[in-house]
Amino acid sequence: MRTSARGRRTSSAVVLYVIILVAFQVFLITVAVEAFQTDTESLAWATAAVSVALFAAAAAFLRYLRP
C-alpha cells in the first residue's frame, strides 16, 4: 500500500508527540517520588491527575496513526 508524503509526515508527528508525552511521564514520575518522600499529598494527586491526562492524550493520538 502506498502512503502519501502527507500521511507519513502526520504519522511521524504523532509518534513525536507520543514520545514527548512519554518523556513528560518520566518527569512526572520523578515529581511523584519527590512528593512521596516529602509527604506532599496535594502535589502527589496533582501529578497523578496530569499523568492520567497525558496518558489519555497519548492514547487519543494513536487514532491518527495509520495501521
Partner 1 sequence: MTSETEPVPVDPPWKRDFPLQAVSEEEVTRREFARYLVLGAGTMAVANVGLAAWTQLRSINAGEPRAITDLAAVNVGDTYLFHYPGDDDPAILVRLTDTDVVAFSQKCTHLGCVVYYKTEEERWHCPCHEGNFDARTGAVVSGPPTRPLGRIDLEVRDDGVIWALGRRT
- What is the contact surface with partner 1 in residues (CB under 8 A)? 11-12, 14-15, 18-19, 21-22, 25-26, 28-29, 32-41, 44-45, 47-48, 51-52, 54-55, 58-59, 61-62, 65-67
| Cell numbers describing residue 38 | 516529602
| Cell numbers describing residue 57 | 492524550
| Cell numbers describing residue 31 | 515529581
CA atoms within 13 A on the CB side of 10: 12
Least distance (Å) between residue 4 CB and partner 1: 14
C-beta closer to partner 1: residue 4 or 67: 67
C-beta closer to partner 1: residue 5 or 51: 51
